[in-house]
Amino acid sequence: MCENLQEFVALLERNNELIRVKVSVNPYLEITEITERMAKSPGGGKALLFEKVQGSDFSVLTNAFGSKKRLFLAFGGQTPDEIGKRLAQLLRRRPPETLLEKWQMLKAARGVNQFIPRKKTKRVPCQEIVLKENEVDLYRLPILHCWPKDAGPFITLPLVFTKSLSSPWTNVGMYRLQVFDKNTLGMHWHIHKDGAHIFSEYEKAGKLMEVAVAIGCDPVLTYAATSPLMPGMDEFFLAGFIRRKPVKIVPATGVNLFVPAEAEFILEGYIDPKESRLEGPFGDHTGYYTPADYYPVFHVKTITHRRKAIYATTVVGRPPMEDCYLGYATERIFLPLIQLLLPEIKDYRFPWEGVFHNLVIVAINKTYPGQAAKVMHGLWGLGQLSHTKIICVVDGETDLNDSVSLMKRILSSIDLEEDLYFTKGNLDALDHAANWPCFGGKLGIDATERLTTEPPRKNKNVKVESCLDKLSLMDNCFREVKVLFSDLPLAVYLFRVKKGEGKELHKMREVFWEKGIIKKGIVVFLDEEVNLADASYLLWKILGNIDPIRDISLKGNVLFVDATKKTSFNGYLRSWPEEVQGDPVVSRRVEAKLAEMSIPYLSGIGVK
């Protein structure tokens, strides 16, 4: 098991999972361009270590977690499923009855104790170099400016340490940090996050909040900082449990917090709850720019680091990217814990196109009527799963890894009148489709088989006919149609449409309803520029752009889905975000020197 990032880099290199880029590269857009191509290559490509970064003496590591093999190496030869099973066994222990069972539980308790972090007092690697006050200069770090319309450089893989005023709890979270100047950063924590909850304690008390940030930790602790633990649960303990040995920690040099002794960099300072500053926009993991908003300011008073530190970072954007694999790890590790609360769940899957909060497919062992609805509402009341926009429930024997057969099973099963459950609730702060931030429509889909005690479905096949010619004669806003699953009870019709000039989609729906163009199926409206040939892109667009209550309507046997951009006409008063895309000039520059970097096979990948 790797004690630090340097050992992890060596492990990746021994296993042919790392490429050293010895050509000079620019942290402004160029490293992002190269990393995105690598992350979108088959299987997630390789980790990248950029050894000559313009404007900095430090190397940059990207895409370190971006494949299942690298996750396996990061977790010390354990799969995420194996870790999840170990965690469930720890939590499933029943009270001991016999003397032997009591002895076994005592031994187990002693074993758990070994996961508690170990405090060090002597000089440690993360404090080999100490820079204070006027010596602090964040511009010495090779912090990436990732996307053309980002507000500036952002630290994207930080472990943020904060301490509660009301308990001994120290939280370790991962919240992006925008560089404002040489010694201040914007602290972007969402309203639902633990860091924001702790910040509110200091805000109410009117006290300065001490903060420490670690960059480049051992891979397990880095993962633990992203995990959806309940408030009060310890990320250090989770990391120790996965590692099977404790994390070494040391007192920070200038704040009353413990930090990882083996980290590459530590930033120490404070936040004044009375101070905020405009942070963003930022090209986020949703594939869209999140808008600018006011967030707390982190004043960096001290920077400590290793002598030859590596700056670890990640690039996020439209999936698939490196964060998809971290999300996959969480999906698998926490499945057994969710099964403790909802034991009928056999498996679940978060398609990457749903960016881990727009869609989850859940397979259950169904034994009674309405059980699918019970599972939906159970998940909507459970931690970060409560932010999920769409939950689709299928039967336990369904193969969740075969996307085509999964879609066929769902479209062959559901009754549009009986199997769709609409509700409202909290959403992820990055959801851009709802009329209001953090709250909007949700959809549950019951695609389980009917029991004998439930009324049968009324699904019947309806002949699919060509419809674009008829529609184009009536209204030229219909530009292209693609029909999917035409042999199933519910065919899917994807329309590229031109909005504007008063031709909003409620009028387009009337054309279908009045003329009976389509007798049965699911009709999806997409913007004119959308490429109907890219299935992954389509699913990402549809899931990201809809509020189920506002944008989905049923008329007879036709379900209409408006996945276009929204305006004030739709009751949408926010600014619709732009899609994240690289700079064409930088793309051409990178394309020209891929061979020099020894990665010519990335040519054309991710380039639009």
Beta strands 47-50; 59-62: pairing state: antiparallel
- Helix, strand, coil tally for the chain in percent (to 5): 30, 25, 45
Starting at the edge strand found earlier in the chain, the sheet holding 345-349 runs 345-349, 359-364, 390-395, 439-446, 420-426
Q: Which tokens in the block code for residue 275?
A: 């101070």
Q: Smallest Cα–Cα separation from 242: which of 70, 473, 2?
A: 2
Beta strands 359-364; 248-251: pairing state: unpaired
Q: Smallest Cα–Cα separation from 38: which of 60, 64, 14?
A: 64
Q: Is 234 an active-site residue?
A: no
Starting at the edge strand found earlier in the chain, the sheet holding 310-312 runs 18-21, 47-50, 59-62, 310-312
Q: 284, 415, 419, 446: which one is catalytic? A: 284
Residue whose pair of structure tokens reads 């919240």 in the numeric block = 175
HEC string for 461-523: CCCCCCCHHHHHHHCCCEEEEEEECCCCCCCEEEEEECCCCCCCHHHHHHHHHHHCCCCCEEE
CA 264 – CA 103 distance, rounded (Å): 42
| Residue 350 per-residue DSSP state | -
Residues in contact with 454: Cβ distance below 8 Å, sequence separation at least 6, in sequence order? 369
CA 141 – CA 314 distance, rounded (Å): 15
What value does the CA radius of gyration of the chain take, rounded to a whole number of Å?
A: 26
| Residue 556 per-residue DSSP state | T
Q: Is 271 helix (H, G, I), strand (E, B) or coil?
A: strand
* Host H or E run for residue 283: strand 282-283
Q: Which tokens in the block code for residue 526?
A: 């997409």
The CA-CA-CA angle for residues 491, 496, 498, to 5°, reads: 140
Beta strands 521-527; 558-562: pairing state: parallel
Residue whose pair of structure tokens reads 């619709």 in the numeric block = 576
CA 293 – CA 274 distance, rounded (Å): 16
Contact between residue 29 and residue 146 where contact means Cβ atoms under 8 Å apart: yes
Residues in contact with 298: Cβ distance below 8 Å, sequence separation at least 6, in sequence order? 177, 184, 185, 186, 187, 211, 213, 267, 269, 270, 271
Q: How far is CA 482 from CA 253, 462, 467, 538, in A?
A: 62, 17, 10, 11
Contact between residue 442 and residue 552 where contact means Cβ atoms under 8 Å apart: no
CA 211 – CA 407 distance, rounded (Å): 46
Residue whose pair of structure tokens reads 């991962």 in the numeric block = 174
User: What amino acid positions are annotated as catalytic residues?
Assistant: 284
